[in-house]
């Protein structure tokens, strides 16, 4: 019996090695990383499309004529417009300047507690003062309250008073825990406002003080307290009608 021809032996296949755990983990990590990167890119693109991310200072696109003649015409128009705008702005600046304080006037800085006596733009005198404390006081018996702020803006000196006498308002009695006086004379108090006072209206004064060591502090009920020497110099320099700028 003839032996069947021998089948050629198939070449031995290389041993199939199962992927190691480390390789699997590495593969999974790479895939996860890729997914995270894609997700982040997607989120950024989404925010960008919503307009939440903006490029600061990106140039604005302006259309100009493409031909030389068109550019020349646009240039001439633009030149006219710019000149007109410059003239208008110059007039507006002049108008604003026309409101500027001139001559002798007082400036009170409520932040730094300073008073400047000015002539045009020059500072003639710089004084330490006290301005409003900013506290609120309520009347325990009636529905009314006071805020002790120094008012802001442009004022003028209504009258000048030598040896002023303080007429104590209601809040002075409430603050001191005292009852309201029945007689007007009980409201009068001499010597507490210094030697001079300048009335700014609505009960606000520039006056002297017994408490010079409190100059520079926000301690008043809205008036402006000045030291004796500065007060005398200012009082003698200004007149009725002198402007006072409180800022």
Report the site for other proteins in 146-185 (rule: CB under 8 A): 147-149, 152-155, 174-178
**Residue 46, token pair as written in the block:** 């989404």
Of 62-121, binders to other proteins (CB under 8 A) are 62-68, 70-75, 77-79, 81-82, 85-86, 88-89, 92-93, 95-97, 99-101, 107, 109-112
Cβ contacts of residue 132 below 8 Å, gap of 6+? 110, 148, 149, 150, 218, 220, 221, 222, 223
As measured in angstroms, the least distance from the Cβ of 233 to other proteins is 20
As measured in angstroms, the least distance from the Cβ of 125 to other proteins is 15
Closer Cβ to other proteins, 25 or 75, answer by number: 75
The verdict on 187 binding other proteins (CB under 8 A) reads: no
Stretch that binds other proteins, among 12-20, 127-135, 182-190, 198-206 (CB under 8 A): 127-135
Closer Cβ to other proteins, 161 or 192, answer by number: 192
Give the strand pairing for 224-226 and 122-132: antiparallel
The verdict on 220 binding other proteins (CB under 8 A) reads: yes
Scanning the structure block, which residue is given the tokens 């409520």?
110
Cβ contacts of residue 246 below 8 Å, gap of 6+? 107, 108, 110, 150, 151, 152, 153, 155, 224
Stretch that binds other proteins, among 25-33, 43-51, 197-205, 229-237 (CB under 8 A): 43-51
Separation of alpha carbons 79 and 160, rounded Å:
56
Do 245 and 105 meet the contact criterion of CB atoms below 8 Å apart?
Answer: yes
Cβ contacts of residue 176 below 8 Å, gap of 6+? none
- How many residues bind other proteins (CB under 8 A)? The answer is 75
Separation of alpha carbons 103 and 94, rounded Å:
18
The verdict on 138 binding other proteins (CB under 8 A) reads: yes
The verdict on 214 binding other proteins (CB under 8 A) reads: yes
The verdict on 35 binding other proteins (CB under 8 A) reads: no
Would you put residue 73 in left (φ > 0), alpha (ψ -120 to 50) or beta? alpha
Among 19, 59, 143, 241, binds other proteins (CB under 8 A): 59
The verdict on 192 binding other proteins (CB under 8 A) reads: no
């Amino acid at each position: 019996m003839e032996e069947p021809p021998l089948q050629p032996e198939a070449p031995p296949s290389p041993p199939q090695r199962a992927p190691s755990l480390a390789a699997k983990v590495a593969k999974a990590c790479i895939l996860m990383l890729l997914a995270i990167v894609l997700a982040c890119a997607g989120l950024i693109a989404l925010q960008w499309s919503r307009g939440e991310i903006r490029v600061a200072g990106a140039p604005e696109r302006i259309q100009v004529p493409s031909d030389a003649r068109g550019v020349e015409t646009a240039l001439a128009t633009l030149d006219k417009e710019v000149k007109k705008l410059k003239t208008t702005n110059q007039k507006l600046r002049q108008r604003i300047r026309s409101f500027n304080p001139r001559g002798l006037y007082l400036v009170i800085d409520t932040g730094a507690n300073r008073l400047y006596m000015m002539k045009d733009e020059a500072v003639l005198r710089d004084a330490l003062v006290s301005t409003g404390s900013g506290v609120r006081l309520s009347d325990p018996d009636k529905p009314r309250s006071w805020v002790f702020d120094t008012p802001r803006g442009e004022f003028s000196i209504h009258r000048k008073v030598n040896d002023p006498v303080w007429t104590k308002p209601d809040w002075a009695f409430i603050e001191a825990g005292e009852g309201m006086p029945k007689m007007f004379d009980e409201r009068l108090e001499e010597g507490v406002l210094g030697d001079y006072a300048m009335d700014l209206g609505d009960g606000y004064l520039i006056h002297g003080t017994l408490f010079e060591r409190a100059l520079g502090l926000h301690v008043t009920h809205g008036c402006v307290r000045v030291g004796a020497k500065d007060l005398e110099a200012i009082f003698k320099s200004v007149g009725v009608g002198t402007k006072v700028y409180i800022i």
